[in-house]
A and B are shown apart, each in its own frame.
Chain A
């Protein structure tokens, strides 16, 4: 099993009341509420936490990015990737990921990622995402072409990494006169690509068709099982066996020295008014054309308050009871993680360990306890359940680089 440390890098010093008063904590929530002094302190605390995560034995550090929101301070995950490439020695640098449609020049991304891979001596895992709805608005990128841009940017980056230049790219959304960057990834045929996601069925199918591991972001056990079923069915169609090396799972898990302390800190997982990525404005979070046409009706109903919020989370106690949030002493947490690992069988697990206003000190304690007690127990459970990571299973990096395919006819019920 591959175990990652993750934090959203929350901008915890923002005035929560102001967000509630404004009614949304993204896009148009004014950056007058951003405090660069606190920002500077927090960035440096996060760096210290990452160093400790490596020292105590995490296999990797997961990074991500968001824009215009206190939810996440990383405006560009490649910046932290570059920092980690230089200051760490062993951990994998797992980007989940770069929002491809936001890139006006994917070749530039390919260059940056190649630099990170070389500087880190081959420790990069390069995930790609579509970016949230409000991210499209924050960066001025057309939401109606989000998926097309995602797929085309991906194709261009992989070609840039695997085919010598110079070559020309004439796509629908990207045209490049000369593709020939003098920075190529150290890992061959190219760094591993993992695809994180939450609700889009298309993304699960797309990941499986490329043989990329899919990382379920903070989904329920039942949602996760449905995602794996879809992934593995698609995998069988294209000719490989899915299973743990292709299944990643991000979970909110906080460890402390006492149960009370752990529960108190875990309440911070609700710090964004109980929503996943902050108090969302229904229109900004789903611009027209961004989501699949089959979700159109649900989103327009939500946008005028007629339907439920598809991103709303249940109350804290309910999430604790259903293992959506796991918190406690190492002993408690290990028992609950065992349940989740048995139920979902992932080969990759990301521990979203600290959020909101959890203090630097408590965050460091949490990371230390993970290393001392939780990680060894998780590895033992993973061995017992045969939950192999893509590295342990030595899976090919993609379908295109697979030599073992045996496609099956699609099931009659498939669309």
Chain B
């Protein structure tokens, strides 16, 4: 059904910045929080969700040339509050689903700990935000080129080539650099995780689904055990032969999992 979904773009004034929002579909509201590498305008995964939900995809402030940066922002928890503010500015009282991809999963988890009762379902896909056990660590983009880091998100490199091109454009590299700068501003140290979030996860009341690519090289799947220990009664789906960017490697499978969990 590519092309059938009409995405509406708007700017919403929140916390001193204009947050860029894409919105499409109808049904219960579902907030989708994107990765630390930003998000492409259109993905088959987005369209698939719009068949079932009123999908809202805000750009995190500072994540891309289209996303005005909030210079005051110092933490991922700040970003979570900005997205809560965005929801109330839009008059959305309850979210049927809060879906976070990778870094966006960290933001979603922070949001879910804050006001546990206004959320029906939480879905986290390979979330950052909690330090993996032992010697495992979240892949540090500070030491990697933009392309190497983005490629590390894919188990199937052909999927990367199909989405970003085998040799991504310089415009895309600039976008990644802008995103990276904002990640450094708010998640530099400790890198890409919170020391307090594990202690707060118990506040989450919404049932949670945690999805992980078994071949995730960005956030080691070993981190899943820490999430499962923190989120009461959460369900874990480990997808074989899949990397960190599940929505780009397995769009229809992830859309089915989300629709089954959130609507059901």
Binding site for B on A (CB under 8 A): 28, 137, 140, 142-145, 282-284, 287-289, 296-297, 299-301, 303-304, 306
Give Cα A304–Cα B182 distance, bound, in whole angstroms. Answer: 20
B173, A303: Cβ atoms under 8 Å?
yes
Residues of B within 8 A of A28 (CB): 143
A300, B184: Cβ atoms under 8 Å?
no
Give Cα A283–Cα B173 distance, bound, in whole angstroms. Answer: 12
B180, A288: Cβ atoms under 8 Å?
yes
B89 contacts chain A at the CB level, 8 A cutoff: no
Instruction: Decide if the interface of chain B is mainly helix, strand, loop or mixed.
Output: helix
With A297-B174, A300-B170 already in contact, 15 other A-B pairs whose C-beta atoms are closer than 8 Å:
A28-B143, A140-B189, A142-B184, A143-B184, A144-B181, A282-B145, A283-B145, A288-B177, A288-B178, A289-B181, A299-B177, A300-B146, A304-B145, A304-B146, A304-B147
B166 contacts chain A at the CB level, 8 A cutoff: no
CB within 8 A of B174: which of A145, A283, A300?
A: A300
A287, B173: Cβ atoms under 8 Å?
no
> Do A297 and B170 form a contact, CB below 8 Å, given A142-B189, A287-B142?
yes
> Do A142 and B188 form a contact, CB below 8 Å, given A137-B142, A282-B145, A304-B145?
yes
B189, A289: Cβ atoms under 8 Å?
no
Q: Which of B175-205 contact A (CB under 8 A)?
A: 176-178, 180-182, 184-185, 188-189
* Closest-CB distance, A186 to chain B (whole angstroms): 37
B143, A144: Cβ atoms under 8 Å?
no
The residue among B143, B147, B170, B177 with the most chain A CB atoms within 10 A of its own CB is B177
* Closest-CB distance, B81 to chain A (whole angstroms): 20
B144 contacts chain A at the CB level, 8 A cutoff: yes
* Closest-CB distance, A233 to chain B (whole angstroms): 29
Q: List 30 A-B contacts (CB under 8 A).
A: A28-B143, A137-B142, A140-B189, A142-B188, A142-B189, A144-B184, A144-B188, A145-B185, A283-B145, A287-B142, A287-B184, A288-B177, A288-B178, A288-B180, A288-B181, A288-B184, A289-B185, A297-B174, A299-B177, A300-B170, A300-B174, A300-B176, A301-B170, A301-B173, A303-B145, A303-B173, A304-B145, A304-B147, A304-B173, A306-B170
A303, B174: Cβ atoms under 8 Å?
no
The chain A residue with its CB closest to the CB of B168 is: A304
* Closest-CB distance, B161 to chain A (whole angstroms): 15
* Closest-CB distance, A355 to chain B (whole angstroms): 28
Contact flags B130-145 to A (C-beta < 8 A → 1, else 0) = 0000000000001111
Give Cα A304–Cα B176 distance, bound, in whole angstroms. Answer: 13
Residues of B within 8 A of A303 (CB): 145-146, 173
A300, B173: Cβ atoms under 8 Å?
yes
Give Cα A414–Cα B22 distance, bound, in whole angstroms. Answer: 39
Residues of B within 8 A of A144 (CB): 181-182, 184-185, 188
CB within 8 A of B143: which of A137, A143, A145, A301?
A: A137
A289, B184: Cβ atoms under 8 Å?
yes
Residues of A within 8 A of B144 (CB): 283
Give Cα A296–Cα B173 distance, bound, in whole angstroms. Answer: 10
Give Cα A287–Cα B177 distance, bound, in whole angstroms. Answer: 9
* Closest-CB distance, B152 to chain A (whole angstroms): 13
Give Cα A303–Cα B182 distance, bound, in whole angstroms. Answer: 18
> Do A296 and B177 form a contact, CB below 8 Å, given A142-B184, A288-B184, A304-B147?
yes
The chain A residue with its CB closest to the CB of B140 is: A137
Residues of B within 8 A of A287 (CB): 142, 184
* Closest-CB distance, B143 to chain A (whole angstroms): 7
* Closest-CB distance, A28 to chain B (whole angstroms): 7
* Closest-CB distance, B117 to chain A (whole angstroms): 36
* Closest-CB distance, A303 to chain B (whole angstroms): 5
The chain B residue with its CB closest to the CB of A136 is: B142
* Closest-CB distance, A282 to chain B (whole angstroms): 7
Give Cα A155–Cα B174 distance, bound, in whole angstroms. Answer: 33
Give Cα A370–Cα B105 distance, bound, in whole angstroms. Answer: 63
A142, B185: Cβ atoms under 8 Å?
yes
The chain B residue with its CB closest to the CB of A289 is: B181
Give Cα A142–Cα B181 distance, bound, in whole angstroms. Answer: 10
* Closest-CB distance, B236 to chain A (whole angstroms): 33
The chain A residue with its CB closest to the CB of B171 is: A297
Q: Which of B90-146 contact A (CB under 8 A)?
A: 142-146
Residues of B within 8 A of A140 (CB): 189
Give Cα A168–Cα B120 distance, bound, in whole angstroms. Answer: 48
Residues of B within 8 A of A306 (CB): 170
Give Cα A259–Cα B170 distance, bound, in whole angstroms. Answer: 47
The chain A residue with its CB closest to the CB of B189 is: A140
Residues of B within 8 A of A145 (CB): 185
* Closest-CB distance, B203 to chain A (whole angstroms): 29
Residues of B within 8 A of A142 (CB): 184-185, 188-189
Give Cα A283–Cα B145 distance, bound, in whole angstroms. Answer: 6
Residues of A within 8 A of B189 (CB): 140, 142
Give Cα A289–Cα B177 distance, bound, in whole angstroms. Answer: 8
The chain A residue with its CB closest to the CB of B170 is: A301
Give Cα A101–Cα B182 distance, bound, in whole angstroms. Answer: 18
The chain B residue with its CB closest to the CB of A143 is: B184
> Do A300 and B177 form a contact, CB below 8 Å, given A282-B145, A283-B145?
yes
The 3 closest A-B pairs by CB, nearest first: A289-B181, A288-B180, A288-B181
